[in-house]
Chains A and B, each alone.
Chain A
Amino acid sequence: MSTQNQQFDIHHVSLSELRKEESTSIFENVSFGFFVYLMTDLVLFASLFAVYAVLHKNTAGGPAGYQIFNLNTVLVETLLLLTSSFTTGLTILSLKTKTKKNVYINLFITFLLGLSFLVIELNEFSHLVSIGDSWRVSGFLSSFFTLVGTHGLHISIGLIWMIILAYRLHKTGFGRANIRRFTIFSLFWHFLDVIWIFIFTVVYLMGVTRL
């Protein structure tokens, strides 16, 4: 503690200048750390699913799931999100071609798919609120809005993240740091897809079959 690192002549190192093994270990640490973070997010969603499972029959005079869910739009949402997961995969593959244009195209398609998903979801929410079925009505609707909304919030964060990724690629090209950023983004996006599959099943499918 007696020594103070500010006193030394230091020269700065950028990530791209790092020695190979140090760069590799940062890459590994970040990917692993991010994966662990995703697992905490998984527990977060698990808690919300548990809450939904407890409350989904507590309609308190308000509507039940089968009265308000529209499976057609949910199917469209699901297809949009699944396709976007596929195009994220294409984005990662196109990184290997080292052609910015390919990456931009795939990333842009992913972005559009995610955005349309979000628009449909918000539309569903605003429709429900407009016909008086808001989160204030019952425990069921509170947990429905919170669970699906939390997923939607994650999607929004993913959309912003994509814009930043495109900016990073534009500025600094195909460095290891950027490859790492794209990799952990794809982890995140696939993860949201998995969560959606569960929402699709537990909330919507089981909801309309009155389970």
Chain B
Amino acid sequence: MIYFASFLIGKLNRNAIPSDLMTLGAAVSIVAGLIFGALIITYLHKWKYLWKEWFTSVDHKKIGIMYIIVSVLMLIRGGVDALMLRGQQATSVGIHHGYLSSYTFAQVFSAHGTIMIFFAAMGMMFGIINLVLPLQIGSRDVAFPFMNLTSFWLFFAGMILVNVSLGIGDFSAAGWLAYPPLSELQYSPTVGVDYWIWSLEIAGIGSLLSGVNFFTTILKTRAPGMTLTKMPMFAWSVLCTTSLIIFAFPILTVTLTLLYLDRTMGMHFFTAGAGGNMMMYVNLIWAWGHPEVYILILPAFGIFSEVVATFSHKRLFGYRTMVGALVSITVLSFTVWLHHFFTMGAGADVNGFFGIMTMVIAIPTGVKIFNWLFTMYKGRIKFSQSMLWFFGFVGLFTVGGVAGVILAVPPADFQLHNSLFLVAHFHTMIVGGVLFGYFAGLSYWFPKIFGYKLNEKLGRLTFYLWFIGFLLAFVPLYILGLLGATRRIDHYSASLGWQPLFIIAGVGVLVIASGVFVMILQHVVSFLNRDSLKDKTGDPWNGKTLEWSIPSPAPFYNFATTPIVHSHDFYWDVKNIIKHEPKEINDILMPKNDSNAPIIGITSVFFGFAMVWHIWWLALVSLFVIVAILLKRFNDENPNYLLSADKIVELEENYLIFRQS
């Protein structure tokens, strides 16, 4: 009987339901939220609409919106984690021990890092790339629309798995990169690390497929005439990011698999004994991890290049040096991973090399900053909300970058390693750099996707709250780090006098949270006023790239006629000619909606869950189902349909009438 039960449900048992109230409360509230959402959808009879128009849609713009919705939800989830961490640190002093146990605290900071990087930042990045890239290069769609939707659903499956860990079992308490030997079975016997492994494994494969997809899209489906050197800067940044994904993500897949083999099959890759080498794990994970931070930041660089040039009404300063800087960052990002563990003891020569390479990579980054500043020089700058994010970015990114160069000096790093100074540094880069960039991009391209602009006043307020909140939250951390506070600290002596700084940092997180609230409010208010904010021209900012040459919101077939590109900043040159040119409109071959991708995603959740709990039969069945669905899809003789020219003409004329009214 016992054998049968363990065959049926693996390691799953009654103890899997969390016993501490905090976690249980979080799990219950998430489940309640899901049920509430499902009830609303059922009440409005929207399930069929959602399934047909969104979940199965291969339209890259809809996929992009789905990515962004999921990533914002995850940003909020990760933000709640951050609030819990700072709340603990502000109160757990001396005789007081705060409200979280050390183990729960460790789970929370592990979840915070994992969710923010993989599901908030990566999701928002793929969201923006999906929304903009095909439009910007004059393409019908991505190269492989079905694969694109599958990537989204794999990302979604990974996200579900992280959140399932809240209610069934526990999450990894080994930090966001789960260093062994702590993450080995001996020291982390629960399923937490397995949840971490499989959510990242599944989401990571989705990212890898997206990387291949967009790389192919850029190299193969650009509009005729758009040579690589006439390509917009955002497209360049995506090309560089996707090549990093292609080189880096397989390493992550391997590393996670090896850790899982250690934990499940009793192998000895990273174990402390029997010939394992735990430092190899740290090397492997950072050989992926360092390029990963550039994967996140490069699209933000691309976005700023578009935003700054557009709102300064000038061409981008130093296009070729910009491209050169992007490409050198891409190459150099693979030569610096060891700076994450100078204290490993690799010796002075090795540390010296990686320290110097780290400083070298600051040079192309500096080139980009100066190019943006020179782009603004003598320009007619419009202080829109997108530009505000840029101004915030320049300040913070420079400060964070200088902190990074300090950390790049191995002797200094020996002092600062594992301190809150480091935490402050990388948050400056990822919040002030990556996130500010994505927010600038979202407000910049919002009208193209939804057909109306975002409320400007609330947008500014959002920025100021984020910016001030950021300074309040992280400047104290720089100071605390220099005072000697280590990261991931859940209790400290009152005599250290750190508490006021931790309280200020906590207040900062609250201010950022109010920024998130105002951001949501901004979207609600803009939606309610969408008639007065309507983008009638399709070109609200006097844009210079192809996406602004089509109506807003972008039609589902993107371009009625494929544009032929002659120069860089093409749309600025031909804006007044192109609109009056007669168009010869042909039939367009469109991919059909695809219900296979969401089913693959849902099955992957079961597969991941089964691997976590060692329910081998379920793992086999779900793997079999996935393969069967893929075979069915590949044998589909009719994955496309033809959209007739007459229909396109009709739609385009509707748009013209609308524009004239």
* 19 chain-A/chain-B pairs, Cβ below 8 angstroms: A2-B451, A3-B555, A14-B638, A25-B220, A32-B220, A33-B220, A36-B216, A40-B208, A47-B250, A50-B284, A51-B258, A55-B275, A58-B277, A60-B268, A136-B266, A137-B268, A138-B268, A138-B275, A145-B267
B61 surroundings in chain A (CB, below 8 A):
1
B residues less than 8 Å from A20 (CB atoms): none
Given A44-B251, A54-B277, A136-B267, 5 additional A-B pairs, CB 8 A: A3-B556, A10-B642, A40-B250, A47-B255, A136-B266
A43 to B592, CA, bound (A): 33
Encode B60-79 as 1/0 by CB contact (under 8 A) with A.
01100100000000000000
Q: Name the residue on B nearest A145 (C-beta).
A: B267
Which residues 547-570 of B have a CB within 8 angstroms of A? 553-556
Kindly report which residue of chain A lies nearest to residue B262, judged by CB atoms: A142
A137: chain B residues within 8 A (beta carbon): 268, 274
Within 8 A of A (CB), among B270-304: 271, 273-277, 280, 284
B640 at the interface (CB under 8 A from A): yes
Selected from A59, A145, A168, the residue in CB contact (under 8 A) with B635 is: A168
How distant is the Cα of A191 from the Cα of B422 in the complex, in angstroms?
A: 42
> Which A residues are CB-close (under 8 A) to B380?
none
Chain B min CB distance to A129 (Å): 12
Q: Contact between B62 and A1 (Cβ–Cβ < 8 Å)?
A: yes
Type the 1/0 row for A38-78, where 1 means its CB is closer than 8 Å to any CB of B.
Answer: 01110110011011001100111010000000000000000
Q: Is A130 part of the binding interface, using a Cβ–Cβ cutoff of 8 Å?
A: no
The proximity string for B residues 618-647 relative to A, scoring 1 for CB distances below 8 Å and 0 otherwise, is: 000000000000010011011111110001
B249 within 8 A of A: yes
Chain A residues in 8 Å Cβ range of B144: 29-30, 33
Known A6-B593, A33-B144, A138-B274: A47·B254 in contact at CB below 8 Å: yes
Question: How many angstroms between the C-alpha atoms of A172 and B266 in the bound complex?
Answer: 47
Indicate if the CB atoms of A18 and B593 lie closer than 8 Å: no
How distant is the Cα of A146 from the Cα of B502 in the complex, in angstroms? 46
- Do B280 and A54 touch (CB < 8 A)? yes
Find out whether the CB atom of B254 lies under 8 angstroms from the CB atom of A48.
yes
The residue of chain A having its C-beta at the shortest distance from the C-beta of B211 within the complex is A40
Contact of A2 with B553 in the complex, beta carbons under 8 Å:
yes
A67 CB, nearest partner CB in chain B, Å: 15
Contact assessment for B254 and A33 in the assembled complex, using a CB-CB cutoff below 8 Å: no
CB distance from B584 to the nearest CB of A (A): 16
| A40 & B246 in contact (Cβ 8 Å cutoff) | yes
The docked-state distance in angstroms from the alpha carbon of A80 to that of B277 is: 35
Q: Given A3-B555, A139-B268, A142-B269, does the pair A43, B246 have CB atoms closer than 8 Å?
A: yes
The complex places the Cα of A60 from the Cα of B271 at a distance, in Å, of 12
Bound together, the chains give a CA A164 to CA B630 distance in angstroms of 12
CB-defined contacts of B275 to chain A, threshold 8 Å: 55, 58-60, 62, 138-140, 142
- Is B653 among interface residues, defined by CB-CB distance under 8 A? no
A110 to chain B minimum Cβ distance, whole angstroms, is 20
Do B273 and A60 touch (CB < 8 A)?
Answer: yes
Residues on the A chain within 8 Å of B65, using CB: 1
**Distance from A30 Cβ to chain B, minimum over Cβ atoms (Å):** 8
Most buried by A among B212, B277, B555: B212
Residue A5 interfacial (CB < 8 Å): yes
Contact for A13 among B143, B274, B641, CB less than 8 A: B641
Docked Cα-Cα span, A47 to B259, in Å, equals 14
**Are B269 and A28 in contact (CB-based, < 8 A)?**
no
Contact residues, A9-35 vs B (CB, 8 A) = 10-16, 18, 22, 25, 28-30, 32-33
Known A-B contacts A22-B589, A33-B144, A60-B268; A15 and B637 likewise in contact (beta carbons under 8 Å): yes
Asked whether A4 is an interface residue with its Cβ less than 8 Å from the other chain, the reply is: yes
Partner of B143, one of A33, A62, A143, A145: A33
Selected contact of B451 from candidates A1, A5, A39, CB within 8 Å: A1
Residues on A with beta carbons closer than 8 Å to the beta carbon of B590:
5, 10
- In the bound assembly, the distance between CA atoms of A55 and B589 in angstroms comes to 52
Interface residues of B, Cβ cutoff 8 Å to A: 52-53, 59, 61-62, 65, 143-144, 208, 211-213, 215-216, 219-221, 246-247, 249-251, 253-255, 258, 261-262, 265-269, 271, 273-277, 280, 284, 449-451, 553-556, 589-590, 592-593, 631, 634-635, 637-643, 647, 651
- Contact, CB under 8 Å: B212 / A36: yes
Q: What A residues does B267 contact at CB under 8 A?
A: 135-136, 142, 145-146
Contact flag A139-B269 (CB < 8 Å), given A15-B637, A33-B216: yes
Q: Is the CB of B638 within 8 A of A13?
A: yes
In contact, B641 and A11 (Cβ under 8 angstroms): yes
Contact of A39 among B246, B251, B253, B280 (CB under 8 A): B246
Residues of A within 8 A of B212 (CB): 33, 36-37, 40
* A3, B249: Cα distance in complex, Å: 36
**CB distance B268 to A142 under 8 Å?**
yes
Rounded to whole Å, the gap between the CB of B631 and the closest CB of chain A is 7
Contact, CB under 8 Å: B265 / A135: yes
In the bound complex, residues from chain A placing their C-beta under 8 Å from that of B639 are 15
CB distance from B269 to the nearest CB of A (A): 6
Complex Cα distance, B637 from A14, in Å, reads 5
* Residue in contact with B449 in the complex, picked from A1, A25, A136, A164, CB distance below 8 Å: A1
Q: Whole-angstrom distance between the alpha carbons of A55 and B247 in the complex?
A: 23
Query: Do the beta carbons of B555 and A55 come within 8 Å of each other?
Result: no
In Å, the complex CA distance between A119 and B266 comes to 25
Residue on B with the closest CB to A19? B589
4 smallest beta-carbon distances between A and B, as pairs: A58-B275, A139-B275, A60-B275, A142-B267
Contact A28 B220 (CB under 8 A): yes
| Complexed CA–CA distance, A50 and B255 (Å) | 11
Complex CA distance for A139 and B273, rounded to whole angstroms: 9
Q: Is the CB of A143 within 8 A of B250?
A: no
Interface centre among A25, A40, A146 (most CB of B within 10 A): A40
By a CB distance below 8 angstroms, the chain A residues around B221 are: 25, 29
For residue B253, which residues in chain A have a CB less than 8 angstroms away from its CB?
A: 44
Q: Would B556 and A5 count as touching, CB distance under 8 A?
A: yes
Write out the residue numbers on chain A whose beta carbons fall within 8 Å of the beta carbon of B643.
Answer: 5, 8, 10
A8 to B62, CA, bound (A): 18
Residues of B within 8 A of A47 (CB): 250-251, 254-255, 284
Q: How far is the CB of B139 from chain A (nearest CB, A)?
A: 11
A7 to chain B, nearest CB (A): 10
What distance in Å separates the Cβ of A146 from its nearest Cβ neighbour in chain B?
7
The 0/1 profile, CB within 8 Å of B marked 1, for residues 138-180 of chain A is: 1110110110000000000000000010001000100000000
Measured between beta carbons, the chain B residues less than 8 angstroms from A32 are: 216, 219-220
- B-side contacts of A18, CB under 8 Å: 589, 640
Is B246 within 8 A of A55, CB to CB? no
Among B635, B637, B643, the most chain A Cβ lie within 10 Å of the Cβ of: B637
A33-B213, A54-B280, A142-B268 are contacts. A60–B589 as well, Cβ < 8 Å?
no
Q: Is the CB of A1 within 8 A of B553?
A: yes
A135→B641 contact, CB < 8 A: no
| Docked-complex contact B266 and A1, CB < 8 angstroms | no
For A22, list chain B residues within 8 Å (CB).
589
Q: How far is the CA of A174 from the CA of B589 in the complex (A)?
A: 23
Contacts of B268 in A (CB 8 A): 58, 60, 136-139, 142
